[in-house]
Chain A
Amino acid sequence: MIPDELRYTDKHEWVGAGDGTALRVGITDFAQDALGDIVYVQLPEPGSPVTAGEPLGEVESTKSVSEIYAPVTGTVVARNDGLADKPELINTEPYGAGWLVQIEPADPDTVNELLDADGYRELTQQ
């Protein structure tokens, strides 16, 4: 499941339209399936600066832990606090209620440097 309207990183994050000019970020269906049942999520506070390619938080399943990387440089303007009690939303609705953070990008054009759906499909089919 790779929605056409989203952009993707090669580390399995997706990026879509958020509130206003912010970008919404989550992990892909491919990533949640590989991780298995997610039980903890650690996300940055709103206001935190993030740098493209650098870790911004982590998701932990019963078996392992994975870092989440910032797809773009900018500032975190919102985080999904509902995940604290229901981390399983990442498994059940990775592109919906399981979103992680919203980032106000420093440069709105950088999102166009990310993979499109076809590019990500190619990456995950290898």
Chain B
Amino acid sequence: MTDLTLGRSPLHDRHAALGAKFAPFGGWEMPLEYAGGGVLKEHTAVREAVGVFDVSHLGKATVRGPGAAEFVNACFTNDLTRIKPGKAQYTLCCADNGGVVDDVQTYLYGDDHVFLMPNAANAAEVIRRLREAAPPPVTVTDEHRDYGVLAVQGPRSADLVAALDLPTGHEYMSFVEAPLRGTRIVVCRTGYTGEHGYELVIPWSATVEVWDELLRAGEPYGVRPAGLAARDTLRTEMGYPLHGQDLSLDITPVQARAPWAVGWSKPAFWGREALLAERAAGPRRLLWGLEALDRGIPRPHMAVRRGDLTVGEVTSGTFSPTRRIGIALALLDTAAGLGAGEEVAVDVRGRPARMRVVKPPFVQNATR
């Protein structure tokens, strides 16, 4: 029997006390938005001040042992030799056919130690595949419930993290360990919002304390707890893919415009042959951005039309709180020959909504 109970974050009671609306997210019951907040206010807080997200549902795993980094590099797509210890890298765990099992953030500690953050829903599968392939004595440990993760994101995030006496000066995509009241936490210069930000990896039981302190210390900076609904509008504005929508077992990194996350010259990684072949032949479809020219909000699975011809499908679509228009990521057939600036129509419940094809992001990236 499958376990049907939803996982809960160590902050569940805190969220409930803040009047959160919860939603299932990759097998976890997580806050969508908070009372007194709402997507628009929470989104704006992250773009203009600072927001704190509980992303403890994300998977965590450690690969350890002689050659651990080399092993991970032979499995995932990106070239781990491009980064030094203390740096993080976005990578993909692909299937043999080039489809994406999951997108994963890797944290390189050294040759014999790599920390992984896959998505909640796919963590078990990524870990299963790694374990099956791991050459002894390399071990893969599932740490899903060993750490909570808080994302502190926004132009005031450095002020807020510094207010907790934590380091903030390290460069984008790097991480450092630091003590906080005797607990060891990892401060990563990462995030998925397009803003300057930090992700704090905290021992599970200490997560409540750090959350409380962030919200208390963040008051002068205009902090808001931000739910996963705002995380979705923020990442969509940046054109960042969400696994299960813009990346999936049916959507390859070549189609999703993520060839930069593939180490093409590496001798081995999962899905290598299929991806090389697809890159050589050219993908049959490609991920583009769409921005609405009229009122109308595109939603996942809506058809994209050019005249009478269906030329693609929306994979992610929402109202952009920053731009105040409908925006979408959509897979468009390359045979249709569409490019940036051209006009298409999205079938919004039977009504054609005019959209312009663009190359994301929809909002300028401010991560650095």
Give the residue name and chain of the B residue nearest to A34 (CB): B21
Q: CB distance B33 to A40 under 8 Å? A: no
Q: Tally the A-B contacts, defined by beta carbons under 8 Å.
A: 36
**Which one of A58-66, A98-106, A118-126 is at the interface?**
A58-66
- A27-57 near B? 1/0 per residue, CB < 8 Å: 0000000001101101000000000000000
Q: CB distance B40 to A62 under 8 Å? A: yes
- What is the CA–CA distance of A49 and B295 in the complex, to the nearest angstrom? 24
- What is the CA–CA distance of A96 and B39 in the complex, to the nearest angstrom? 23
Q: CB distance A36 to B229 under 8 Å? A: yes
Q: Which residues of B contact A63 (CB under 8 A)?
A: 32, 39, 229, 318
Q: Which residues of A contact B21 (CB under 8 A)?
A: 36
Chain B nearest CB from A54 CB (Å) reads 15
In the complex, whether B233 has a CB less than 8 A from a CB of chain A is yes
- What is the CA–CA distance of A36 and B33 in the complex, to the nearest angstrom? 9
Q: Which residues of B contact A60 (CB under 8 A)?
A: 297, 319
Task: Give the size range of A's interface with the partner.
Answer: 10 to 19
- B231-244 near A? 1/0 per residue, CB < 8 Å: 00100000000000
Chain B nearest CB from A82 CB (Å) reads 16
- What is the CA–CA distance of A42 and B299 in the complex, to the nearest angstrom? 17
Chain A nearest CB from B319 CB (Å) reads 5
Q: CB distance A62 to B295 under 8 Å? A: no
Q: Which of A39, A40, A42, A88 has the most CB of B within 10 A?
A: A39
Q: CB distance A37 to B38 under 8 Å? A: yes
**Out of B229, B296, B349, which one reaches A62, CB within 8 Å?**
B229
Chain A nearest CB from B321 CB (Å) reads 7
Q: Which residues of A contact B296 (CB under 8 A)?
A: 40
Q: CB distance B39 to A37 under 8 Å? A: yes
Q: Which residues of A contact B321 (CB under 8 A)?
A: 62
Query: A40 and B297 in contact (CB under 8 A), knowing A62-B318, A62-B321, A63-B229?
Result: yes
**Out of A36, A61, A65, A88, which one reaches B349, CB within 8 Å?**
A65
Task: Tell me which residues from 284 to 336 in chain B have a Cβ below 8 Å from any Cβ of chain A.
Answer: 295-297, 299, 318-319, 321
Q: Can you sample 6 A-B contacts with CB below 8 Å?
A: A36-B38, A39-B297, A62-B40, A62-B233, A65-B349, A88-B40
Q: Which A residues form the contact surface with B (CB < 8 A)?
A: 36-37, 39-40, 42, 60-63, 65, 88, 91
Q: Which B residues form the contact surface with A (CB < 8 A)?
A: 21, 32-33, 38-41, 229, 233, 295-297, 299, 318-319, 321, 349
